[in-house]
Amino acid sequence: MLTMSLLSTALSFFVAPVCADLGFGRGSFTLYYSLMVAAGAVSASFLGEYMNRKGTGGVVLVSALWCGVGFWGLSFSSSLWMFYIIGALMGFFGSTCVYLAANVIVQQTYSSRHVSAVLGLVMAGSGIGGVVWSNLVPPMLESFGWRFSYRALGICWLVLAVVSVLILGKQDQTGAIGHAKSVDRGTSKKEALRSLKFYLAAAVMCILACASCISQQLPAILTGLGHDGSRISLMISVMTAFVAIGTIGEGMLCSKLGIFKTMILVLALYILGFVLLIVKGSVYLALVCLAFGSGSIGTLMPVVVRTIFGGRDYAAIWSVVISCSSVASFLAAPLWGMVYDIFGSYNPALVAMPILLLLGIAALVGAFKK
């Protein structure tokens, strides 16, 4: 999850310098991130079942080599098409693979009683990584430029992912982690895909994915609110720190309140975060609320799917949900930038998100109805 945060947090700092240097519009440039996500949706659709049979180590190792080279490719890009092609190639064995592997390991190793708390601890790695990158990447960009910074991130991706494979390798070979067969009862993938509840749960995930796309524009949004570079780095550090704290807290809260009540509470906080940005209220409070909301994607939504459908075909069902959310991210990420290019402000997108999240609450209620 530390590795995944390179894409979810670190890449957001490249939007302004790359666009300024090469003359790209923010909407057209961030489409490369959307293609990265879309390609991940394609691979996620079949990787879940592959991990069930073969384990996670090989997938993560391929991702380490593939994306390490991909970051170096981005550093030599000079046109939008180069960013688009390399981004799509990286996405095919990129963050989706790493995230899915971490989730499958936890879900197939721990019982449903403990899985939400363990997921909270594991997913906190993304928030911890966000704190690290939000303090390292801006000064690196300022001192060495965006091309060198892409290469440095490529080395970080390679090292972190290879270390993960080495640590998990022995356990993965014994079958204790990664491809241990689930003994939980539940719904088959075929039955789940015929159920309205699946599409309601997928809708909630897609809405959360659209909301999380704000992360790519957040430095620009904060700049528009009058904050300078050093203050923005501090703010994003606070937010990513609360992603780590929030995921752990959400996991523990889920064990006490249950998944349904915890999800409703977190979605309400997510709505509050967007509202505070719209009315220019407390920025720090807004970022904390956004942190809790974005953390639910990795910590709570897997538990939602497992609670509704059980563990029988969990990895296969969850991989389809991930694919759906990746498609949503593919569409939403450039829209955030295009809203700014068209209106000169992010406000229309900020206003739309609370409405979508309210629809997400309605979908969640429908998915949990007996």
| Mean pLDDT within 214-219 | 78
The region of weakest confidence among 149-163, 198-212, 276-290, 310-324 is 310-324
Determine the Cα–Cα distance for residues 232 and 230; give it in Å rounded to an integer. 5
Quick one: pLDDT band at residue 149, thresholds 50, 70, 90?
very high
Report CA-CA distances (Å) from 149 to 31, 47, 120.
20, 30, 30
105 or 278: which carries more pLDDT confidence? 278
Q: Specify the pLDDT at position 273.
A: 92
Q: What is the CATH number of the domain that holds 18?
A: 1.20.1250.20
**pLDDT surpassing 90 at residue 218:** no
Report CA-CA distances (Å) from 24 to 32, 90, 259, 338.
12, 21, 43, 12
In 3-state terms, what secondary structure has residue 31? Answer: helix
Quick one: pLDDT band at residue 280, thresholds 50, 70, 90?
confident
Quick one: pLDDT band at residue 173, thresholds 50, 70, 90?
very low
pLDDT tens digits, residue range 87-146?
A: 888 888 776 677 777 777 787 777 766 777 788 788 778 778 877 887 888 889 988 999
* Domain total of the chain: 1
Judge if pTM exceeds 0.85: no
Report CA-CA distances (Å) from 157 to 33, 70, 74, 130.
17, 10, 14, 14
Q: Specify the pLDDT at position 172.
A: 45
Read off the tokens for 6: 């390179």
Quick one: pLDDT band at residue 358, thresholds 50, 70, 90?
very high
Answer whether 252's CB lies under 8 Å from 331's CB: no
Long-range contacts of 224-229 (CB under 8 A, 24+ apart): 224/345, 224/346, 225/280, 225/283, 227/283, 229/138, 229/142
* Ordered DSSP codes for 114-136: THHHHHHHHHHHHHHHHHHHHHH
22 or 1: which carries more pLDDT confidence? 22
| Mean pLDDT within 286-309 | 86
Residue 74, domain extent = 5-368
pLDDT tens digits, residue range 2-50?
A: 877 787 778 878 888 888 898 888 778 877 877 887 787 777 767 766 7
Across all residues in the chain, what is the average pLDDT? 81
Quick one: pLDDT band at residue 320, thresholds 50, 70, 90?
confident
